[in-house]
Amino acid sequence: MNPQTYKVIGFILKICQNKKSLFFWFIVRFLSAILPLVTIYQFSGVVKLLEQKAPLESVILAVFCIFLVRVIDNFTRLRSLTKLEYEISIVSFDIHNFFLSDLKTSTKSDRHEIVQAIRNFADASSTTLNLIKQPGVDSFVSILFIPVILLFLDFPAFILNIAYITVYYATDYYTTQRYAHLRNILNTRTEAYFAKLQDSSDFDLEQKSWSRHFRRLVNWGFTEWNLLQNTAVIFYSLILFLQISEVVNGNKQISGLVLVMGYVTQTQVYLNSFSTIKDSLTDMLVGLDRLAQNPTVSTVDLDDLI
Protein backbone atom coordinates (compact mmCIF):
# COMPACT_ATOMS: atom_id res chain seq x y z
CA MET A 1 0.00 0.00 0.00
CA ASN A 2 1.22 3.48 -0.80
CA PRO A 3 1.52 6.28 1.82
CA GLN A 4 -1.73 7.90 0.73
CA THR A 5 -3.62 4.70 1.47
CA TYR A 6 -2.32 4.70 5.03
CA LYS A 7 -3.35 8.34 5.32
CA VAL A 8 -6.88 7.54 4.19
CA ILE A 9 -7.16 4.72 6.72
CA GLY A 10 -5.78 7.07 9.36
CA PHE A 11 -8.34 9.67 8.36
CA ILE A 12 -11.21 7.21 8.77
CA LEU A 13 -9.94 6.15 12.18
CA LYS A 14 -9.56 9.81 13.12
CA ILE A 15 -13.22 10.62 12.49
CA CYS A 16 -14.46 7.25 13.79
CA GLN A 17 -16.38 7.64 17.06
CA ASN A 18 -16.19 3.99 18.18
CA LYS A 19 -12.43 3.36 18.00
CA LYS A 20 -12.08 1.24 21.16
CA SER A 21 -14.79 -1.23 20.23
CA LEU A 22 -13.57 -1.40 16.63
CA PHE A 23 -9.98 -2.13 17.70
CA PHE A 24 -11.04 -4.70 20.31
CA TRP A 25 -13.04 -6.81 17.89
CA PHE A 26 -10.35 -6.57 15.22
CA ILE A 27 -7.89 -8.00 17.78
CA VAL A 28 -10.29 -10.88 18.49
CA ARG A 29 -10.64 -11.38 14.76
CA PHE A 30 -6.84 -11.47 14.39
CA LEU A 31 -6.52 -14.17 17.04
CA SER A 32 -9.27 -16.25 15.44
CA ALA A 33 -7.44 -16.10 12.09
CA ILE A 34 -4.45 -17.95 13.56
CA LEU A 35 -6.48 -21.07 14.33
CA PRO A 36 -6.91 -22.29 10.70
CA LEU A 37 -3.11 -22.42 10.42
CA VAL A 38 -3.09 -24.68 13.47
CA THR A 39 -5.68 -26.92 11.82
CA ILE A 40 -3.44 -27.42 8.76
CA TYR A 41 -0.67 -28.68 11.03
CA GLN A 42 -3.11 -30.93 12.89
CA PHE A 43 -4.44 -32.43 9.66
CA SER A 44 -0.92 -33.23 8.52
CA GLY A 45 -0.40 -34.88 11.90
CA VAL A 46 -3.39 -37.14 11.30
CA VAL A 47 -1.98 -38.17 7.91
CA LYS A 48 1.35 -38.92 9.58
CA LEU A 49 -0.35 -41.11 12.19
CA LEU A 50 -2.03 -43.07 9.41
CA GLU A 51 1.31 -43.46 7.62
CA GLN A 52 2.81 -44.84 10.81
CA LYS A 53 -0.20 -47.12 11.34
CA ALA A 54 -0.70 -45.61 14.78
CA PRO A 55 -3.36 -47.03 17.13
CA LEU A 56 -6.93 -46.00 16.37
CA GLU A 57 -7.15 -44.25 19.73
CA SER A 58 -4.33 -41.89 18.77
CA VAL A 59 -5.99 -41.06 15.45
CA ILE A 60 -9.34 -40.41 17.14
CA LEU A 61 -7.68 -38.15 19.71
CA ALA A 62 -5.97 -36.17 16.94
CA VAL A 63 -9.26 -35.80 15.07
CA PHE A 64 -10.97 -34.66 18.27
CA CYS A 65 -8.30 -31.99 18.74
CA ILE A 66 -9.03 -30.74 15.21
CA PHE A 67 -12.73 -30.67 16.07
CA LEU A 68 -12.04 -28.68 19.24
CA VAL A 69 -9.88 -26.10 17.46
CA ARG A 70 -12.46 -25.71 14.69
CA VAL A 71 -15.25 -25.11 17.22
CA ILE A 72 -13.20 -22.43 18.99
CA ASP A 73 -12.33 -20.95 15.60
CA ASN A 74 -15.98 -20.78 14.58
CA PHE A 75 -17.06 -19.13 17.82
CA THR A 76 -14.38 -16.44 17.95
CA ARG A 77 -14.53 -15.76 14.21
CA LEU A 78 -18.31 -15.47 13.99
CA ARG A 79 -18.56 -13.45 17.19
CA SER A 80 -15.97 -10.93 16.04
CA LEU A 81 -17.42 -10.75 12.52
CA THR A 82 -20.93 -9.95 13.70
CA LYS A 83 -19.68 -7.33 16.14
CA LEU A 84 -17.46 -5.74 13.50
CA GLU A 85 -20.31 -5.67 11.00
CA TYR A 86 -22.24 -3.40 13.36
CA GLU A 87 -19.25 -1.23 14.24
CA ILE A 88 -18.37 -0.73 10.57
CA SER A 89 -21.92 0.33 9.73
CA ILE A 90 -21.54 3.16 12.25
CA VAL A 91 -18.39 4.36 10.48
CA SER A 92 -20.46 5.26 7.40
CA PHE A 93 -22.57 7.59 9.54
CA ASP A 94 -19.40 9.16 10.93
CA ILE A 95 -18.25 9.92 7.38
CA HIS A 96 -21.63 11.41 6.46
CA ASN A 97 -21.62 13.56 9.59
CA PHE A 98 -18.09 14.80 9.00
CA PHE A 99 -18.64 15.99 5.44
CA LEU A 100 -22.28 17.02 5.53
CA SER A 101 -22.43 18.90 8.82
CA ASP A 102 -21.20 22.18 7.30
CA LEU A 103 -22.01 21.54 3.65
CA LYS A 104 -23.24 24.59 1.75
CA THR A 105 -23.88 24.62 -1.98
CA SER A 106 -25.06 27.27 -4.41
CA THR A 107 -27.37 24.98 -6.42
CA LYS A 108 -29.34 21.81 -5.87
CA SER A 109 -27.41 20.11 -8.67
CA ASP A 110 -24.10 20.84 -6.94
CA ARG A 111 -25.43 19.36 -3.71
CA HIS A 112 -26.60 16.20 -5.46
CA GLU A 113 -23.21 15.72 -7.06
CA ILE A 114 -21.33 16.31 -3.81
CA VAL A 115 -23.62 14.05 -1.80
CA GLN A 116 -23.03 11.31 -4.37
CA ALA A 117 -19.27 11.81 -4.03
CA ILE A 118 -19.61 11.48 -0.25
CA ARG A 119 -21.70 8.35 -0.69
CA ASN A 120 -19.06 6.91 -3.03
CA PHE A 121 -16.40 7.43 -0.38
CA ALA A 122 -18.56 6.16 2.51
CA ASP A 123 -19.62 3.06 0.56
CA ALA A 124 -16.04 2.34 -0.48
CA SER A 125 -14.88 2.76 3.13
CA SER A 126 -17.56 0.42 4.43
CA THR A 127 -16.80 -2.17 1.76
CA THR A 128 -13.08 -1.96 2.49
CA LEU A 129 -13.48 -2.35 6.25
CA ASN A 130 -15.80 -5.31 5.73
CA LEU A 131 -13.26 -6.91 3.41
CA ILE A 132 -10.52 -6.27 5.95
CA LYS A 133 -12.50 -8.03 8.66
CA GLN A 134 -12.85 -11.03 6.35
CA PRO A 135 -10.79 -12.13 4.53
CA GLY A 136 -8.33 -9.27 5.10
CA VAL A 137 -7.31 -10.25 8.61
CA ASP A 138 -6.90 -13.87 7.49
CA SER A 139 -4.70 -12.71 4.61
CA PHE A 140 -2.51 -10.63 6.89
CA VAL A 141 -2.08 -13.48 9.37
CA SER A 142 -1.25 -15.96 6.62
CA ILE A 143 1.28 -13.72 4.89
CA LEU A 144 2.80 -12.92 8.28
CA PHE A 145 3.08 -16.46 9.66
CA ILE A 146 3.20 -18.87 6.72
CA PRO A 147 6.65 -17.84 5.42
CA VAL A 148 8.03 -18.25 8.95
CA ILE A 149 6.44 -21.69 9.24
CA LEU A 150 7.83 -22.75 5.85
CA LEU A 151 11.27 -21.48 6.86
CA PHE A 152 11.40 -24.17 9.53
CA LEU A 153 9.57 -26.85 7.55
CA ASP A 154 11.15 -26.66 4.09
CA PHE A 155 13.71 -24.02 3.12
CA PRO A 156 13.39 -24.40 -0.70
CA ALA A 157 9.61 -24.06 -0.37
CA PHE A 158 10.19 -21.00 1.81
CA ILE A 159 12.36 -19.36 -0.89
CA LEU A 160 9.81 -20.07 -3.61
CA ASN A 161 7.01 -18.82 -1.39
CA ILE A 162 8.82 -15.54 -0.75
CA ALA A 163 9.51 -15.19 -4.48
CA TYR A 164 5.84 -15.90 -5.15
CA ILE A 165 4.66 -13.21 -2.71
CA THR A 166 7.17 -10.70 -4.11
CA VAL A 167 6.27 -11.25 -7.77
CA TYR A 168 2.56 -11.30 -6.95
CA TYR A 169 2.79 -8.04 -5.04
CA ALA A 170 4.80 -6.35 -7.81
CA THR A 171 2.23 -7.44 -10.40
CA ASP A 172 -0.60 -6.29 -8.18
CA TYR A 173 1.04 -2.91 -7.64
CA TYR A 174 1.27 -2.32 -11.39
CA THR A 175 -2.30 -3.39 -12.13
CA THR A 176 -3.70 -1.31 -9.26
CA GLN A 177 -2.24 1.90 -10.68
CA ARG A 178 -4.25 1.42 -13.85
CA TYR A 179 -7.31 0.41 -11.83
CA ALA A 180 -7.12 3.64 -9.79
CA HIS A 181 -7.08 5.73 -12.96
CA LEU A 182 -10.13 3.96 -14.40
CA ARG A 183 -11.98 4.07 -11.08
CA ASN A 184 -11.44 7.82 -10.77
CA ILE A 185 -12.95 8.39 -14.21
CA LEU A 186 -15.90 6.13 -13.37
CA ASN A 187 -16.55 7.97 -10.10
CA THR A 188 -16.66 11.25 -12.02
CA ARG A 189 -19.23 9.80 -14.41
CA THR A 190 -21.23 8.36 -11.51
CA GLU A 191 -21.47 11.74 -9.81
CA ALA A 192 -22.54 13.41 -13.05
CA TYR A 193 -25.10 10.70 -13.79
CA PHE A 194 -26.85 10.79 -10.42
CA ALA A 195 -26.80 14.58 -10.31
CA LYS A 196 -28.56 14.67 -13.70
CA LEU A 197 -30.87 11.80 -12.74
CA GLN A 198 -32.28 13.71 -9.78
CA ASP A 199 -32.84 16.94 -11.68
CA SER A 200 -33.85 15.89 -15.18
CA SER A 201 -35.25 13.11 -17.33
CA ASP A 202 -32.65 13.79 -20.00
CA PHE A 203 -29.86 11.58 -18.65
CA ASP A 204 -29.23 9.26 -21.61
CA LEU A 205 -25.84 10.79 -22.41
CA GLU A 206 -24.61 10.44 -18.82
CA GLN A 207 -25.92 6.87 -18.65
CA LYS A 208 -24.11 5.85 -21.83
CA SER A 209 -20.92 7.52 -20.64
CA TRP A 210 -21.10 5.66 -17.32
CA SER A 211 -21.70 2.33 -19.06
CA ARG A 212 -18.76 2.86 -21.41
CA HIS A 213 -16.32 3.62 -18.61
CA PHE A 214 -17.65 0.83 -16.42
CA ARG A 215 -17.01 -1.61 -19.27
CA ARG A 216 -13.41 -0.38 -19.45
CA LEU A 217 -13.01 -0.98 -15.71
CA VAL A 218 -14.49 -4.48 -15.95
CA ASN A 219 -12.26 -5.38 -18.91
CA TRP A 220 -9.20 -4.25 -16.98
CA GLY A 221 -10.38 -6.40 -14.08
CA PHE A 222 -10.12 -9.44 -16.34
CA THR A 223 -6.57 -8.51 -17.37
CA GLU A 224 -5.56 -7.81 -13.78
CA TRP A 225 -6.87 -11.07 -12.35
CA ASN A 226 -5.57 -13.10 -15.29
CA LEU A 227 -2.04 -11.89 -14.56
CA LEU A 228 -2.37 -12.51 -10.83
CA GLN A 229 -3.95 -15.95 -11.14
CA ASN A 230 -1.35 -17.15 -13.64
CA THR A 231 1.41 -15.94 -11.33
CA ALA A 232 -0.16 -18.03 -8.58
CA VAL A 233 -0.43 -21.10 -10.81
CA ILE A 234 3.24 -20.92 -11.85
CA PHE A 235 4.61 -20.77 -8.32
CA TYR A 236 2.11 -23.28 -6.94
CA SER A 237 3.13 -25.76 -9.63
CA LEU A 238 6.84 -25.20 -8.96
CA ILE A 239 6.45 -25.83 -5.24
CA LEU A 240 4.23 -28.88 -5.84
CA PHE A 241 6.75 -30.34 -8.28
CA LEU A 242 9.51 -29.81 -5.73
CA GLN A 243 7.51 -31.55 -3.00
CA ILE A 244 6.60 -34.50 -5.24
CA SER A 245 10.27 -34.91 -6.16
CA GLU A 246 11.17 -35.04 -2.48
CA VAL A 247 8.55 -37.72 -1.85
CA VAL A 248 9.59 -39.80 -4.87
CA ASN A 249 13.25 -39.63 -3.81
CA GLY A 250 12.32 -40.80 -0.33
CA ASN A 251 13.36 -37.58 1.37
CA LYS A 252 9.88 -36.68 2.55
CA GLN A 253 6.71 -38.41 3.67
CA ILE A 254 3.33 -37.68 2.10
CA SER A 255 2.29 -36.03 5.36
CA GLY A 256 5.12 -33.54 4.85
CA LEU A 257 3.88 -32.78 1.35
CA VAL A 258 0.35 -32.29 2.68
CA LEU A 259 1.65 -29.91 5.34
CA VAL A 260 3.74 -27.73 3.01
CA MET A 261 1.14 -27.59 0.24
CA GLY A 262 -1.54 -26.80 2.78
CA TYR A 263 0.31 -23.65 3.76
CA VAL A 264 1.15 -22.80 0.14
CA THR A 265 -2.52 -23.12 -0.81
CA GLN A 266 -3.44 -20.80 2.04
CA THR A 267 -0.93 -18.28 0.70
CA GLN A 268 -2.57 -18.35 -2.72
CA VAL A 269 -6.09 -17.98 -1.34
CA TYR A 270 -5.21 -15.05 0.87
CA LEU A 271 -3.06 -13.26 -1.68
CA ASN A 272 -6.12 -13.25 -3.92
CA SER A 273 -8.08 -11.76 -1.04
CA PHE A 274 -5.33 -9.21 -0.53
CA SER A 275 -5.73 -8.06 -4.13
CA THR A 276 -9.46 -7.63 -3.67
CA ILE A 277 -8.87 -5.56 -0.56
CA LYS A 278 -6.22 -3.50 -2.34
CA ASP A 279 -8.70 -2.64 -5.09
CA SER A 280 -11.25 -1.69 -2.46
CA LEU A 281 -8.69 0.48 -0.69
CA THR A 282 -8.05 2.14 -4.03
CA ASP A 283 -11.78 2.83 -4.37
CA MET A 284 -11.67 4.45 -0.95
CA LEU A 285 -8.61 6.54 -1.79
CA VAL A 286 -10.06 7.66 -5.11
CA GLY A 287 -13.33 8.55 -3.40
CA LEU A 288 -11.64 10.71 -0.79
CA ASP A 289 -9.40 12.27 -3.40
CA ARG A 290 -12.51 13.30 -5.34
CA LEU A 291 -13.83 15.02 -2.23
CA ALA A 292 -10.49 16.70 -1.60
CA GLN A 293 -10.60 18.18 -5.10
CA ASN A 294 -14.05 19.67 -4.54
CA PRO A 295 -13.79 23.16 -3.01
CA THR A 296 -17.42 23.10 -1.86
CA VAL A 297 -16.86 20.29 0.61
CA SER A 298 -15.04 20.79 3.91
CA THR A 299 -11.40 21.30 3.01
CA VAL A 300 -9.59 17.97 3.01
CA ASP A 301 -5.93 17.85 2.09
CA LEU A 302 -4.61 14.31 1.79
CA ASP A 303 -1.13 15.50 2.70
CA ASP A 304 -2.45 16.77 6.03
CA LEU A 305 -4.28 13.59 6.98
CA ILE A 306 -2.84 11.51 9.80
Range of the domain at 137: 3-304
Q: What is the pLDDT of residue 298?
A: 47
Give the torsion through C-alpha atoms of 72, 74, 75, 81, to 10 deg: 140
Which CATH number is 97's domain given? Answer: 1.20.1560.10
Q: What is the pLDDT of residue 157?
A: 92
Question: Distance between the two ends of the chain, CA-based, in angstroms?
Answer: 15
**Average pLDDT, stretch 251-259?**
90
Q: What is the pLDDT of residue 260?
A: 92
Q: How many domains does the chain have?
A: 1
Residue 306 pLDDT greater than 60, yes or no: no
Q: Contact, 235 vs 160, CB < 8 A?
A: yes
**Average pLDDT, stretch 52-78?**
93
Q: Contact, 204 vs 193, CB < 8 A?
A: no
How sure is the predictor about 70, in pLDDT bands with cuts at 50, 70 and 90?
very high
User: Considering only 31-45, 55-69, 151-165, 266-280, which range has the smallest mean pLDDT?
Assistant: 266-280
Show the CA angle centred on residue 32, arms to residues 72 and 128, nearest 5°. Answer: 140
Q: What is the pLDDT of residue 30?
A: 92
160-163's contacts with Cβ under 8 Å and 24+ in sequence apart are 160/235, 160/238, 160/239, 160/242, 161/235, 161/239, 161/264, 161/267, 163/235
Q: What is the pLDDT of residue 109?
A: 65
Q: What is the pLDDT of residue 300?
A: 46
pTM (global) more than 0.75: no
Q: What is the pLDDT of residue 166?
A: 92
